[in-house]
């Protein structure tokens, strides 16, 4: 699958060369291209922002560099893609990004990401972009980052690791937090007694049924305590 990221800070995305995603890129499983928005400006200062109509604090990203950059990205669509590519716009005013959306996106051939800065991108860009892309405004959570780059990294990692072959052992994708609506159970390794703290004895019992039941109970207990919102969504009573 292919990702195209448009940003005024291409160097933010350099970390995609390391770790699991780096290997996936070298193996050709995931293709990531980063574009500098300023390459789609024509003035001496490579201006990407301007003052907001109606007044107010901060600056707004001008629409035309975005249109040119996104047309360029659209032209890079893999030949076999068929459907409109997805355009993700990281913003704290978007719908919540989730494991479900990551799973959906991992099925796509081409995902573009428009990283805004300042107070945001001129709103008209999103309607215009619908002609080329399936546009989704997405947020990581209820807090504010300085721009979309860190969110784009999180989304690329969450989606990229679901692409077949990226994570060596596919079984490890099944038992994760959020795959079944519950948080992950706690894990332990050797030594069995570490600085006076012991591993729960059931894990040393060799009884697979008991281990599974204990893990399930731990998942439920944690989810109820730490994420009452998830617990309620499951329709249990806490
Ligand atoms: Cl996706 N973008 C920005 N700028 N801030 C955020 C966010 C996204 N998600 C949470 N905060």
Q: CATH number of the domain that 198 lies in?
A: 1.10.1270.20
pLDDT on residue 237: 64
Tell me the CB-side half-sphere exposure of residue 44, using CA atoms within 13 A: 0
Single out the residue of 81, 92, 94 nearest to residue 135, CA to CA. Answer: 94
Instruction: Give tens-digit pLDDT for 129-140.
Output: 999 999 999 999
pLDDT on residue 86: 98
Q: Which two tokens stand for residue 23?
A: 């290997």
**Domain count of the fold of the chain:** 2
Give the SS3 label for residue 62.
coil
pLDDT on residue 20: 79
Residue 166 within a domain: no
Distance 63 CA to ligand 1 centre (A): 20
Residue 95 falls in which region: left (phi positive, over 0), alpha (psi -120 to 50) or beta: beta
157 lies in the same domain as 185:
no
Instruction: Give tens-digit pLDDT for 170-228.
Output: 888 887 878 789 999 999 999 999 999 999 999 999 999 999 999 999 999 999 999 99
pLDDT on residue 186: 98
| CB of residue 145 inside a 6 A radius of ligand 1 | yes
Q: Which domain holds residue 218?
A: 175-234
pTM: 0.94
> Can you list the residues of the chain whose pLDDT is less than 70?
81, 237-238
Residue 188 within a domain: yes
100 lies in the same domain as 179:
no
16 lies in the same domain as 74:
yes
Distance 146 CA to ligand 1 centre (A): 8
| CB of residue 151 inside a 6 A radius of ligand 1 | yes
Query: Is 73 buried (19+), middle (13-18) or exposed (0-12) by CB count in 10 A?
Result: buried
């Amino acid at each position: 699958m292919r990702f195209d990221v448009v940003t005024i800070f291409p160097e933010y995305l350099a970390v995609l060369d390391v770790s699991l995603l780096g290997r996936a890129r070298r193996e050709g499983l995931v293709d990531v291209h980063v574009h500098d928005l300023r390459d789609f400006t024509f003035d001496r200062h490579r201006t990407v922002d301007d003052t907001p109509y109606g007044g107010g604090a901060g600056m707004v990203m001008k629409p035309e560099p975005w249109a040119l950059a996104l047309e360029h990205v659209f032209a890079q669509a893999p030949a076999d893609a068929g459907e409109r590519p997805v355009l993700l716009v990281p913003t704290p005013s978007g719908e919540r990004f989730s494991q479900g959306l990551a799973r959906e996106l991992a099925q796509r051939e081409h995902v573009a990401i428009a990283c805004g800065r300042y107070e945001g991108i001129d709103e008209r860009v999103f309607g215009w972009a619908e002609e080329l892309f399936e546009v989704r405004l997405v947020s990581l959570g209820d807090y504010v980052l300085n721009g979309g780059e860190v969110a784009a990294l999180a989304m690329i990692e969450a989606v990229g690791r679901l692409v077949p072959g990226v994570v060596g052992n596919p079984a490890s994708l099944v038992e994760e937090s959020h795959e079944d609506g519950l948080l992950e159970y706690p894990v332990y390794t050797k030594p069995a007694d570490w600085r006076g703290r012991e591993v729960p004895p059931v894990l040393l019992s060799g009884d697979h049924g008991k281990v599974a039941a204990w893990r399930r109970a731990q998942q439920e207990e944690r989810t109820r305590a730490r994420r009452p919102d998830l617990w309620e969504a499951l329709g249990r009573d806490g």
